[in-house]
Structure 1
Amino acid sequence: MTDAYRCLENVRSCYVSISYNFIKERMNHHNINGLSVSVIESGQISGIENHGLLEAGSDNKVDNHSVFNACSISKFVTALLALKLTDEGFLDLDEDVNTRLKSWKYPYNNSKDKKGITLRNLLSHQSGVMDPEGSFMELNANIGIPSMAEILGTTPYCETPIDVKYQPESDFYYSDAGFCMIQQLIEDVTGNSFIKVVKELLFDPLKMTNSTFLQNTSEEINMNVSSGHNKEGEVTEGKYPIYPYPAASGLWTTTADLSQFILETINALHNKSRVGISANSVKEMISAQGCKSWTGLGVFLDGSGKEIEISSFGWGKGFQCMMAAYPYLGNGMIIMTNTDSGVHQLKGLIGEVYYSLKPLLNHAQS
């Protein structure tokens, strides 16, 4: 596989260009319609590679402005926003979130000590909150979008009211509900919608002009927004799956825009944040949390020391994507596809690209 990659002399550092013939063959093998890969080296985007089509049967090619559904990579963005608001005093990582929740509060569990849930617990998926079976699916146009407080109560999107199922910090359970709670918390402390807060505090200062949160099917769809595809490579019903839970899975963006969040993480770690996130907050984010050594705040961890890797994965109807970064080294990658291949990201095309780029990015550049 390494033979399929070559370094280009006309771009800075050692940006890796994916061999066109190789990637075309692998895309065909996995029935992937569109792919975009952004590579970050030494704190800069060193190149973006685009392949395939925005929609099967069309002639619209993927380019640097093509928008994909980032799915659960939205949680990485939410974590950065939460850290920003923590630095500003709106939030506290270690206090019971019920202290600042207004529109909805979680019911305490039945344990004698009534241990509260903290923002740190929620960001690291160790809050004791578990997603009810069959919950948090894509938008049902016939139902519309209830308020987040209603969703956390009882709606067709989550038919069982959210409560605490196990002792916080005693175990890990990946939870969309936990990030819905974070969204409600952010809206309550700021007095604004989550989408507005993200735009004002992150999108605008980072000049992310190709990022949005689609919230209903009647919104105008730009030509550069990709359609979703199933594992056979066919366009999914509705084309544009929408999740009415922005903080958990609502982000639509490009690899170029999403790279700005990696760059912000790198810059903040070196006291050069463009949005006002402190180095200490980023160090918390990329440090092991609670009972799991591989869980940070809104990201997953691998390795240690200066070569620690942070990652986030997105998988939804018609889309799969991944981000990985090495904050201390200033390197990273974004891989986005407009196809649900039906297997974990690391077992498909995304994994093939990731494992080929990783050896070049997880060490200091000479």
Structure 2
Amino acid sequence: MFTRKSVSIAIAGSLVLVAGTLSQPIHAADTIEQHIQKSIVIAGESQPNTSLIQRMAEENVPGLSIAVLKNGEIVWAKGFGIANSKTKQLVSEHTLFQAGSISKPIGALAALKLVEQGKLSLDEDVNKYLKGYQLTGAKLSKETPVTLRQLLTHTAGLSVHGFPGYSTGDNVPSTIDVLDGKGNTAKVEVVLTPGSEWRYSGGGYTVMQLLVEQISGQTFAEFTDANILKPMGMLNSTYAHTLPNDLKTRASAAFDGGGNMHSAVFNDYPEKPAAGLWTTPTDILKYAAHMQAIMNGKKDGILQKETVQAMFTKHKNDWGLGPALMDVDGQLAFGHGGKNLGFTNDFKALVNKGDAFVVMSNGDNANTLNNEIMATLSKHYDVAFLEQTVIQPVTLTPQQLDAYKGEYLLLTDIGYNGDFISKISVNEGKVAIQNPGDVMPSRLVPENTSKFISAVSGNEFVFKFDGKIVTGLTVAGRFELQKIK
């Protein structure tokens, strides 16, 4: 939720650096691999010099792969660590990872392709196109139908945030069965007035999947393979449920937060554009470079420039038609994170300049390390995708610190099964919070008497007072908690 899960179990054995570079400058290995920069630091406290391999061991991340696009060229791509602990396969730049939600911006291109072909509209009622299935819900009406534009920008008001997947070998439901709630998730329904709010919904992208499948007459994998992935040169990528042998032999296993390989090896995801893409960091860079080239005037791209410009137009919550949009030093950027069982990924790219970074990891506990890698790459390649956060701490008295100690009940509905109670403790003058599911607490650093910063996530924790008594707190400007003890 608002801090990562921490674990103390060390990875057995050493992680091995493996081959796989593209035009790798010597200084990249020296600067990046040997000097990982913390994404969050505390002013006045010493920062240890840490190598990438050491940080992987500390965070229980068995394997990861990095690729860098600079000025339109892939200048560095390399794999590190273990892809499969049973087969002893190592990670290389050619190792495939599950993309998680990075599947969404790339999958969105399939729907945009159909729009260009005149077979689908961005702004018409999607129920007009659907056969054998109709979107329903309390907030759906003729006056406020759901549109493709809303599906792609997460403004359709649909339920089902994400999908847990199915153990490899299990029978997986059809697209319609997923939408009808006959899989392992609830029915996808319209729960907010379409267009009124931003609400992230993997369910919405599964509706888009059904549109593509029914209009094209092909599976989502077949249509994207022929019309999206191969034309962009993404030859190591697929939405296919069963990987072809040449890709299967290079697919990474999934690992839990302790660095242990999941018994199912990895989960399967029938929700293809929501979570079902297998790919490599280098292939994601090919997607980014292709979009950048179209914006720069490329005439034979998979989409027209006008379509890509629309894709990079901000809607609610700075979301485009697929990717998240952001400003980086006055330049428009796009990207997405990705989290499946045992995989944690991130990519960021500039829209009008040929720079992009991708980090793909095969561990559930990789988010902190991925951020550190992004911060290190940003500094090394002078592209501020993720700048280091410096916390400016203040010193509080023991009496002041005692006021924060206790248990806090989450009031915001996040679908947690049972009461979500966070515990705040003080040890040797340092404040820490432990959430349900966390093995270890995370440090909170005070910037004043009411505002603390997480040394792990960088999120703000703002405490509420009644006189000198702490009554609750707000996390990241969104989550409300009430002090109950």
Q: Please indicate the TM-score interval, normalised by the length of the shorter structure.
A: 0.7 to 0.9
**2:311 aligned with 1:285:** yes
Contact 1:205 1:274 in 2 (8 A): no
Relative distance call for 1:317 and 1:261 in structure 2 (3 A) is same
**Shift in Å at residue 99 of structure 1?**
1.8
**2:335 aligned with 1:311:** yes
**Distance in 2 between residues matched to 1:300 and 1:309, nearest whole Å:** 8
Aligned to 1:264: 290
**Structure whose CA Rg is larger:** 2
**2:157 aligned with 1:128:** yes
- 1:63-106 Cα deviation digits (max 9, x unpaired): 12111111111001112222222222222111111121223221
Aligned to 2:358: 334
Aligned to 2:383: 362
**Distance in 2 between residues matched to 1:181 and 1:14, nearest whole Å:** 47
Relative distance call for 1:87 and 1:176 in structure 2 (3 A) is same
Relative distance call for 1:299 and 1:126 in structure 2 (3 A) is same
After TM superposition, the structure 1 stretch with the greater mean CA deviation from structure 2, 215-224 or 120-129, is 215-224
Relative distance call for 1:270 and 1:140 in structure 2 (3 A) is same
**Equivalent AA in structure 1 for residue 182 of structure 2:** T
Aligned to 2:96: 67
SS of equivalent residue, structure 1 residue 24: helix
- 1:234-272 Cα deviation digits (max 9, x unpaired): 101211221111111001111111211111111121231
Contact 1:71 1:316 in 2 (8 A): yes
- 1:328-364 Cα deviation digits (max 9, x unpaired): 11110111011110x7x3xx1100011222343537x
SS of equivalent residue, structure 1 residue 172: coil
Q: How many residues align?
A: 345
**Equivalent AA in structure 2 for residue 288 of structure 1:** K
Contact 1:83 1:281 in 2 (8 A): yes
Relative distance call for 1:257 and 1:142 in structure 2 (3 A) is closer
1:1-366 equivalences under 5 Å are: 11=23, 16-17=28-29, 18-20=32-34, 22-56=51-85, 58-107=87-136, 109-110=138-139, 114-131=143-160, 136-140=163-167, 144-158=171-185, 160-215=186-241, 222-272=248-298, 274-289=300-315, 291-292=316-317, 294-303=318-327, 307-341=331-365, 345=367, 348-359=368-379, 360=381, 362=383
SS of equivalent residue, structure 1 residue 178: helix
**Equivalent AA in structure 1 for residue 129 of structure 2:** R
Relative distance call for 1:106 and 1:285 in structure 2 (3 A) is same
- 1:183-211 Cα deviation digits (max 9, x unpaired): 00111111111110000002222232221
**Distance in 2 between residues matched to 1:34 and 1:110, nearest whole Å:** 44
Contact 1:103 1:184 in 2 (8 A): no
**Shift in Å at residue 222 of structure 1?**
2.8
Comparing both structures, which one devotes a greater share of its residues to helix?
Answer: 1
**Distance in 2 between residues matched to 1:41 and 1:314, nearest whole Å:** 22
Relative distance call for 1:113 and 1:265 in structure 2 (3 A) is same
**Distance in 1 between residues matched to 2:98 and 2:141, nearest whole Å:** 43
**Distance in 2 between residues matched to 1:118 and 1:87, nearest whole Å:** 16
**Shift in Å at residue 325 of structure 1?**
0.4
**Shift in Å at residue 11 of structure 1?**
4.9
Relative distance call for 1:54 and 1:303 in structure 2 (3 A) is same
**Which structure is higher in RCO with an 8 Å CA cutoff and minimum separation 6?**
1
State, as a whole percentage, how many aligned pairs show the same letter: 26
**Distance in 2 between residues matched to 1:143 and 1:67, nearest whole Å:** 21
Relative distance call for 1:285 and 1:218 in structure 2 (3 A) is closer
Contact 1:129 1:165 in 2 (8 A): yes
After TM superposition, the structure 1 stretch with the greater mean CA deviation from structure 2, 31-40 or 252-261, is 252-261
Contact 2:168 2:265 in 1 (8 A): no
Relative distance call for 1:44 and 1:218 in structure 2 (3 A) is closer
**Distance in 2 between residues matched to 1:183 and 1:356, nearest whole Å:** 36
SS of equivalent residue, structure 2 residue 267: coil
After TM superposition, the structure 1 stretch with the greater mean CA deviation from structure 2, 254-263 or 271-280, is 271-280
Relative distance call for 1:183 and 1:111 in structure 2 (3 A) is closer
Relative distance call for 1:287 and 1:110 in structure 2 (3 A) is closer
* Aligned residues: CA RMSD: 2.7
SS of equivalent residue, structure 2 residue 55: helix
- 1:164-195 Cα deviation digits (max 9, x unpaired): 10111211111111000000011111111111
Give TM-score scaled by structure 2 length.
Answer: 0.66
- 1:94-130 Cα deviation digits (max 9, x unpaired): 1111121223221264566630111110111110101
After TM superposition, the structure 1 stretch with the greater mean CA deviation from structure 2, 10-19 or 269-278, is 10-19
After TM superposition, the structure 1 stretch with the greater mean CA deviation from structure 2, 279-288 or 205-214, is 205-214
SS of equivalent residue, structure 2 residue 211: helix
**Contiguous gaps of at least 5 residues in structure 1:** 1-9
**Shift in Å at residue 19 of structure 1?**
2.1
Relative distance call for 1:113 and 1:193 in structure 2 (3 A) is closer
Relative distance call for 1:217 and 1:279 in structure 2 (3 A) is closer
**Shift in Å at residue 162 of structure 1?**
2.1
**Distance in 2 between residues matched to 1:115 and 1:44, nearest whole Å:** 45
**Distance in 1 between residues matched to 2:65 and 2:72, nearest whole Å:** 19
Relative distance call for 1:69 and 1:285 in structure 2 (3 A) is same
**Distance in 2 between residues matched to 1:358 and 1:187, nearest whole Å:** 39
**Distance in 2 between residues matched to 1:93 and 1:123, nearest whole Å:** 9
SS of equivalent residue, structure 1 residue 72: helix
Give TM-score scaled by structure 1 length.
Answer: 0.86
**Equivalent AA in structure 2 for residue 155 of structure 1:** K
**Distance in 1 between residues matched to 2:269 and 2:55, nearest whole Å:** 29
Relative distance call for 1:193 and 1:61 in structure 2 (3 A) is same
